[in-house]
Amino acid sequence: MQGSAATFRFDQMLGLPTTQADDLAGRIGSRARSRGLALVRQGDPNASYRVLGYLSAAGDDKGTAVSYVWDVMDPNNRRLHRISGFELAGDAGGDPWSGVSSTTLDAIAARTVEALAAWTNLPPPSPAAPQIAAGGTSI
């Protein structure tokens, strides 16, 4: 299933605290809506694809790295595609997740949605019209 006909159901996000999982889910939903990527509710049997997420955070005295893997599954539970990456976050002290901000989660959401859109060949967003500064010059 390609383009705007594809629907995605995020069934799980393992490895991160509940509050951050809720924040990430909301950010993915927001990014998906603005990008034209169709999401359906968890458990919807009519989804084209299920997405399973695995995240981990590891920190040291220089900061935290959040690694993520998203497996895109077909209705028969076969993995069709994998998205993976990492984002750097702030200093975490004793708990690596404490250094993971909303900005970091937003970056993960943005990369995830763009990777799904590219995989389904969803056309790129139209470029914004150039902004015109005072005096009529393009910015």
Domains and CATH numbers, the chain: 3-119 (3.30.160.150)
For the segment 38-48, the average pLDDT, to the nearest whole number, is 91
**Would you say residue 131 has pLDDT above 60?**
no
Q: Decide which of 129 and 128 is more confident.
A: 128
**Would you say residue 43 has pLDDT above 90?**
no
Label residues 52-63 b or e (16+ Cβ within 10 Å = b): bbebebebeeee
pTM of this structure: 0.84
| Radius of gyration of the chain from its Cα atoms, rounded to whole angstroms | 17
Phi (first) and psi of residue 73, to 5 degrees: -115, 150
Tokens 């399973």 correspond to 52
Q: How many CA atoms lie within 13 A of 28 on its CB side?
A: 27
For the segment 1-9, the average pLDDT, to the nearest whole number, is 80
Task: Name the nearest CA neighbour of 39 among 124, 110, 116.
Answer: 116
33 CB-near residues (< 8 Å, 6+ apart)? 39
The pLDDT value given to residue 60? 77
**Would you say residue 134 has pLDDT above 50?**
no
